[in-house]
Structure 1
Amino acid sequence: MHAELASPALSPDLMPWLAGLAGLLIGVATLEGLAKTFIYKAAYDWRAYAASLADALLRRIADGLGLSLAVPVLAWVHAHRLWTIELAGPLAWGLLFIGQEFFYYGYHRAAHRVRWFWATHSVHHSPNELTLMAAVRLGWTGKLTGTALFFVPLVWLGFSPVAVLGVVAANLLYQFWLHAPWMPRLGPLEWVLNTPAHHRIHHASNPEYLDCNYGGVLIVFDRLFGTFTAERPDVRIKYGLTEPLHSYNPLRIGLHEWLRLGRDAWKAPGWAARARVLFGPPGG
């Protein structure tokens, strides 16, 4: 999930519903932890649960500040759009859905291959255990990095920013259940949809599984562009970052990669080298 992407202007009438939805998701994630602890007598990292909850609260505080690189650009592009596309039928909605899936794939791939975006997205991959609560650990610096700019082409073509970001938000909501590693495979649907089986591979830090399965609702763009990887029976999944983060401090979790990025940029010999640090691949 990448909630830093979804920031449409919301009616005050929607806020209680959204708060209720957030509470429902956290409640379901809590039930998963309780079931694992008391019914299945298995280990569950409740400190990681608390860290993810704290990260979500920090993100709400950051959102309240109203700081965003993308919002002014989206507004300007919308004012200079080529056409106005009314969402008056299934064809228009279908084009918007496929378009946002395509650009979401592009964003998500960049979030793993460009350090500027990885600095925020790494927070989502920092849990060393994949759980539903890990789905809400998204970092709180995303709006300052301009991640929503990946969807500018849809606004330029004529879709409204609110519609675009609303469909992206629905995409992200779909991804909540993908963080349940106990879900079984879904048969033929695995060819088209992003599923828990595909997404647990995306969260793996094994060398065999790095940088794959970037889709949101669909997995078809990974198959088209060669980034799809299936789970291998001979490779046991290891979750977390390639250099594991063992902190439960939400400030350290949210800023650890930014601090590393700033340190490496400071040490780089010259502006060209600094640009390569900022916009090159993690570990590159």
Structure 2
Amino acid sequence: MPEVILQAWQAIETLGVEKVFLLLMGPVFVVFMAVEARHLQRRRAQTYSVEQVGTNTLLAVSHSVADGIAWLLVIGLFYALFEVRLFEIPATGWSLILLLVLQDFFYYWFHRASHRIRWMWASHVTHHSSETMNLATALRQSLTYPISGMWLFWLPLAWIGFKPELVILAVAISLAYQFFVHTESVKKMPAWFEAVFNTPSHHRVHHARNPQYIDRNYAGVLIIWDKLFGTFVPETERCDYGIVRQIHTRNPFVMMFHEWRDMFADVRRPGPLWLRVKHLWAPPEWQRPDDVQPQ
């Protein structure tokens, strides 16, 4: 029993790294949203509303609670992999930079999978359902991310040799950076910055439903992954935000669960079992052969 209590306490301390960091960043996020709202108001391009910010904040809080519970449940796997780690990596400034780069690499693949595997898209679609783009959009998250398996993509970092608490901190730093790319108020950053880092321009493309922009620019912090793996597209025309099948709702529960409902409805439809269950891992736009209408 003492060992169980010790492990539970260790897990809570580990989770505290992320929560304290995001708690400290909270006032910064609020200030930047207020500044942006004032800026947009002066330009008569206001995309903020009390209802929008309130809904997105509710989604962010529910996501944070679910995320914390998930970490408590899976943190043991991270420590188990850390016990059989491949390398002994000392905690230094350089190793933290290496961790941030590697975490960003795995984030790219998590993000790409979240668009190409419907089970994961069922969670991620909540974030993309916003039809406006401002800093408050970054708060629009789903509490179902743990179910869709987001945490699986960070497991290799513990196996490589990074302490679980530092892995969680790296994830928190990445999410904090990404808050600031959800805006139309910043048009372009300096060319050298645009070439290396994810920027508001790059991320506006990612949130757009224009045909040439769909499933592009998956970057978290570094845009170089998109350029290396062929998913980069520059912003060339005005972005139309939202998802292909807009849901036009203010109900946070519909935002979080509509794609899960639709996905399982497709699975329940009559047909061969292997085609029915393929809806779980096929891309969101995939259709069964008998659903495709002849031209």
Give the structure 2 partner of residue 241 of structure 1: 243
- Say whether the 8 Å CA contact 1:67–1:144 is kept in structure 2: no
Which amino acid in the other structure matches residue 241 of structure 1? Answer: I
- Say whether the 8 Å CA contact 1:69–1:143 is kept in structure 2: no
Instruction: Quote the offset at 1:150 in angstroms.
Output: 1.0
Q: Distance in 1 between matches of 2:216 and 2:26?
A: 28
Aligned structure 1 segments of 4 or more residues deviating by more than 6 angstroms: none
Q: Aligned in 2, Cα 1:151/1:65: closer, same or farther, shift over 3 Å?
A: closer
- Say whether the 8 Å CA contact 2:37–2:46 is kept in structure 1: no
Larger Rg: 2
Give the structure 2 partner of residue 117 of structure 1: 120
Q: Aligned in 2, Cα 1:252/1:26: closer, same or farther, shift over 3 Å?
A: farther
Which amino acid in the other structure matches residue 231 of structure 1? Answer: E
Aligned pair 1:183/2:189, yes or no? no
> 2:14 is paired with a residue of what secondary structure?
coil
Which amino acid in the other structure matches residue 245 of structure 1? Answer: I
> 2:209 is paired with a residue of what secondary structure?
coil
Q: Aligned in 2, Cα 1:10/1:70: closer, same or farther, shift over 3 Å?
A: closer
- Flag structure 1 segments of 5+ consecutive residues without an equivalent: 1-6
- Say whether the 8 Å CA contact 1:30–1:133 is kept in structure 2: no
> 1:124 is paired with a residue of what secondary structure?
helix
Which segment drifts farther, 114-123 or 272-281? Answer: 272-281
Can you list the C-alpha shifts for 1:44-89, whole angstroms capped at 9, x where unaligned?
2513222212212322443464577743432332233223322234
Q: Aligned in 2, Cα 1:106/1:60: closer, same or farther, shift over 3 Å?
A: closer
Aligned pair 1:230/2:247, yes or no? no
Which amino acid in the other structure matches residue 62 of structure 2? Answer: L
> 2:126 is paired with a residue of what secondary structure?
coil
- Say whether the 8 Å CA contact 2:22–2:172 is kept in structure 1: no
- Scaled by the length of structure 1, the TM-score of the pair is 0.87
Q: Distance in 1 between matches of 2:67 and 2:170?
A: 19
**Count of paired positions:** 273
Which segment drifts farther, 117-126 or 80-89? Answer: 80-89
- Say whether the 8 Å CA contact 2:21–2:172 is kept in structure 1: no
Q: RMSD across aligned C-alpha pairs, in angstroms?
A: 2.3
Instruction: Quote the offset at 1:171 in angstroms.
Output: 1.1
Q: Distance in 2 between matches of 1:111 and 1:166?
A: 22
Give the structure 2 partner of residue 153 of structure 1: 156
Which amino acid in the other structure matches residue 100 of structure 1? Answer: Q
Q: Which of 15, 21, 34 is 1:10 aligned to?
A: 15
Q: Aligned in 2, Cα 1:68/1:142: closer, same or farther, shift over 3 Å?
A: farther
Can you list the C-alpha shifts for 1:190-213, whole angstroms capped at 9, x where unaligned?
111111111100110111101111
Q: Which of 96, 99, 116 is 2:99 aligned to?
A: 96
Matches within 5 A, 1:56-67: 56-63=60-67, 65-66=69-70
Instruction: Quote the offset at 1:152 in angstroms.
Output: 1.6
Matches within 5 A, 1:1-284: 9-11=14-16, 18-37=22-41, 39-46=42-49, 47-63=51-67, 65-66=69-70, 70-90=74-94, 92-186=95-189, 187-232=191-236, 235-267=237-269, 269-284=271-286
Q: Distance in 2 between matches of 1:168 and 1:274?
A: 35
Q: Distance in 1 between matches of 2:275 and 2:244?
A: 24
Instruction: Quote the offset at 1:99 in angstroms.
Output: 1.2
Which amino acid in the other structure matches residue 214 of structure 1? Answer: Y
Q: Aligned in 2, Cα 1:221/1:257: closer, same or farther, shift over 3 Å?
A: same
Which amino acid in the other structure matches residue 181 of structure 1? Answer: E
Q: Aligned in 2, Cα 1:88/1:35: closer, same or farther, shift over 3 Å?
A: closer
Q: Distance in 2 between matches of 1:27 and 1:173?
A: 14
Q: Aligned in 2, Cα 1:236/1:66: closer, same or farther, shift over 3 Å?
A: closer
Identity %: 35
Instruction: Quote the offset at 1:153 in angstroms.
Output: 1.6
Instruction: Quote the offset at 1:20 in angstroms.
Output: 4.2
